[in-house]
Every structure is written in C-alpha cells, then in structure tokens.
A and B are shown apart, each in its own frame.
Chain A
C-alpha cells in the first residue's frame, strides 16, 4: 500500500514540476515552465491539432508520419506535416539550439511520440489516479479516496471539446468519460455513510455526464435515506424511472426497485 501512496505523491509532484503541462479536459491549454502559452504563439490551428493528435495516440508507440498525415490532412504533403511539427517544437522548446534533437517530441526515423516522462497531461494523470484508486479500493480506502479526489480535481469537462467532430479524438473522450464516471460513483459509494451530502453531489456530477447512469440515482437515494430525506429519495427514484423510460423504454433494475420499496416502507 505504501508503494501506491508513493506513486500518488510522485504524480502530485510531477503535476507541479513538469516543464510542460497540458490541459485537454474542458479546454486546451499548455504551460511551459509554469507560464501559460498565449494561443497566438501556436500560429496555425493545424499545429495545435497535430499536438492533440499526439496526445490522443500517446500510448500507440511511434506513430508513423504517413498515418498521422492520413488522419489530419487526407491529401496533405510532407511540407504540411513538417510545418506543423516545427510549430509544436517551437512552442515547447523555443530556445532549443539548431541541429539538436527535440526533447518532448521523440523522433525515431519517420515515427513520432510524446515524451511522457517530461510532459504532464491531465488525461494521463487522471487515468493513473483512477488506477491507484481502484487498486487501493477495499484495502486502503484512505488512499482510494485521495486518488479519486485527485482525478476529480483534474476533470474540468470533456476531452478536447472543440474537437468533438474529429474521429481521432473520440476514443480518448469516451475512455475519459468512463474513467471519471467510475471515479464519481466509487467515491460516492465510499462516502455514502460518512458524508451522504458529498455522496449526493458526486452522484449528481455523474448524472450530469450521463443522465441514464442508474447507479448514480441509486446512490443518491441511499444518501437521502441516510440523511432522513425520504421525499427527496422518492423524487430521485421517479426521475430515474422517467429518464430510463424516455431514453431506453425500460424499468429500473430490481436492485433499485427494492431500495425504493424499503424507503417507502419507512414510516
């Protein structure tokens, strides 16, 4: 367990000290040595897009130039790619001496990848925090809570909201949404007895991401029951019934029905 705590602390330190930090959730921002980059520094949009493409595919080691061009330009040529790549390197390392290898975009022949040891990216950190939370769950809920809270702090909205129509960004967006939904729900579950009010808030955040997430409604009902707010618990159940009927044409699960029955029986 102490190893998980160590990893958690290292992640926090990296978040503070990384020479390059990138925000992709809610909006796109980049900090170089703690200074936020002015959007004008990027020049053209394709430069930002290429960096965002690298981020979206950061775990596919060594991205082939042709494949990148195929996704971003369709009929573009080498020059377009070179200009965009030069634009990224200029923003990340404006002082880099000529004829030296870039530090942050690692090149191997005609393949490229981000140097994740030097660049802090919010989605990458969020995933790592959620993994720690999941690993510690049940064994050490203090670490779990700390890790999930760290993930939630990072989550500022959907992944690259201005690229929602680009298919290369969809996978990361979906993955992050599932991770954060899981973090909200699991943390709400851990906290339901000790802090039902916070549990309700977390479940509400999950509902704002996916209004059909039945676990979130059930958690809210449990939390309201603990708080002694029977009417609100019933109201929450009704909302769940309406949403599931409207979106899927189905009833809530037996587990949810059983819970409302128990709540209704409270005199």
Chain B
C-alpha cells in the first residue's frame, strides 16, 4: 500500500550558536536552518520568524494539495482553519522564548521598557532606569518569572492608579 505523503510534513531545524565578545560584552547569536524533509527545500535564518514563515508556507501548501478535490468554498474554509490553528500555535506558543532566541538583549530591553512604562506612571521621582546587568545571564524560566511579575505589577499599578484618581477627585 502506498504512503500518503501529502498528509505529512516533517521539518528538521538546526540551531547553531555563536557566542562572542564585542565591545567588552558577551553576546550570543543564533544561526539556523529549517528543512522541509518531503519537499527538500530549506531556508536559513537568523530570525526565528523566518523559520516560522517557512513552515507555515509549507503547511499551507500541504493543505491546498490535500483539498484539491474540494469546492472553492470548502477549500477556503479548511485553509482558514488550518492557518488559524497555526497562528494559535505560533502566537500562544513560546513567543517569549522565540524572542529571546532571536535577540536576548532586545528581550531584556523590552522587559526593561515595560517596567519603565509602569514606573513612569508613579511619578518622575522613582523613574530611574532599572539596571539590566544582573539579567544578562538570565535563563528562560527567569524571563517567564519576570513576565509574570510584570503582569502582577501592572495589575497592582492599575489598582494604585484607581486609588489615586479616587483621592484626587475627593480633594
């Protein structure tokens, strides 16, 4: 019995790590290659988004190929559902990890900016920039913890804002 390759897409993803010193600072760069096994195509990437796009394209092709016999309306519906599923995986999935893989410094800066944004609501007197040195060697779980803490902090700040507004109105 013949196999049905049109129902399966396999991908091989290679990550190659480059750790280097630049301007007295340790850096890490990721280079990668994603290969579509059944089709033989491959794509190199230094930004993980490119790998995600490549996989998404191949999966869309797979869906289109498998729905050739369907009506245009059915095809459109199936493809939409297929893409929706993929979007959910890509977005709800390890976004923080992807961003961190792509650019850890940028990710730290983003977290720093989020903290800064929240702090700035409390007034200029405590608006001093948060130092990032101790976060340079942070792990993924540290980033997750920070993200969780930021969310909790944002909630608390909202409550504080509401209280301040209430007090201001009373005055």
Q: Chain A interface (Cβ within 8 Å of chain B)?
A: 73-76, 80, 164-167, 170-171, 174, 212, 214, 247-250, 253-255
Check B21 against A254 for contact (C-beta < 8 Å).
yes
> Known contacts A74-B1, A170-B37: does B46 contact A250 (CB below 8 Å)?
yes
Residues in chain A near residue B12, CB distance under 8 A: 170-171, 174
Contacts A75-B1, A174-B12, A248-B31; A165 near B38 (Cβ below 8 A): yes
Nearest residue (CB) in A for B12 is: A170
Stretch of B2-10, B59-67, B71-79, B151-159 that contacts chain A: B2-10
* Cα-based distance from A247 to B4 in the complex (angstroms): 33
Binding site for A on B (CB under 8 A): 1, 3-5, 8, 10, 12, 14, 18, 20-22, 29, 31, 35, 37-40, 44-46
How far apart are A72's CB and chain B's nearest CB, in angstroms? 8
B44 touches A248 (CB 8 A): yes
Known: A170-B10, A170-B12, A248-B44. A74 touches B3 (CB 8 A): yes
The CA of A250 and the CA of B29, in the complex, are separated in Å by: 10
Given A247-B44, A254-B21, residue A167 in contact with residue B10 (CB < 8 A) = yes
Residues in B with CB closer than 8 Å to A254 are: 20-22
User: What separation, in Å, do the CA atoms of A170 and B35 have in the docked complex?
Assistant: 10
Indicate the member of A164, A170, A174, A248 with the most B CB atoms within 10 Å: A248
User: What is the CB-to-nearest-CB distance from A133 to chain B, in angstroms, rounded to a whole number?
Assistant: 20
Chain A nearest CB, measured from B31 CB (Å)? 6
Query: Are A167 and B29 in contact, CB atoms less than 8 angstroms apart?
Result: no
- The number of inter-chain residue pairs (CB within 8 angstroms) is 46
A to B CB contacts below 8 Å, 27 in the list: A73-B1, A74-B1, A74-B3, A75-B1, A80-B1, A165-B5, A165-B37, A167-B10, A167-B37, A170-B12, A170-B35, A170-B37, A171-B12, A174-B12, A174-B14, A212-B44, A247-B44, A248-B31, A248-B45, A248-B46, A250-B31, A250-B46, A253-B18, A253-B29, A254-B20, A254-B21, A255-B20
A170 to B8, CA, bound (A): 14
Contact present for A167 and B38 (CB under 8 Å): yes
A166, B20: Cβ atoms closer than 8 Å: no
**With A and B bound together, what is the CA distance between A255 and B21 in angstroms?**
8
Q: How far does the alpha carbon of A248 sit from the alpha carbon of B34 in the complex, in Å?
A: 12
Give the shortest distance, in Å, between B47 (CB) and chain A (any CB).
8
Q: A75 CA to B4 CA in the complex, in Å? A: 10
- Nearest to A166 among chain B residues (CB) is B37
Known contacts A165-B38, A212-B44; A253/B20 CB under 8 A: yes
Q: How far is the CA of A254 from the CA of B29 in the complex (A)?
A: 12
**Chain B residue with minimal CB distance to A72?**
B3
Per the bound structure, the CA–CA distance linking A171 and B14 in Å amounts to 11
For the complex, what is the distance from the CA of A74 to the CA of B8, rounded to whole Å?
A: 12
Residues of A within 8 A of B44 (CB): 212, 247-248
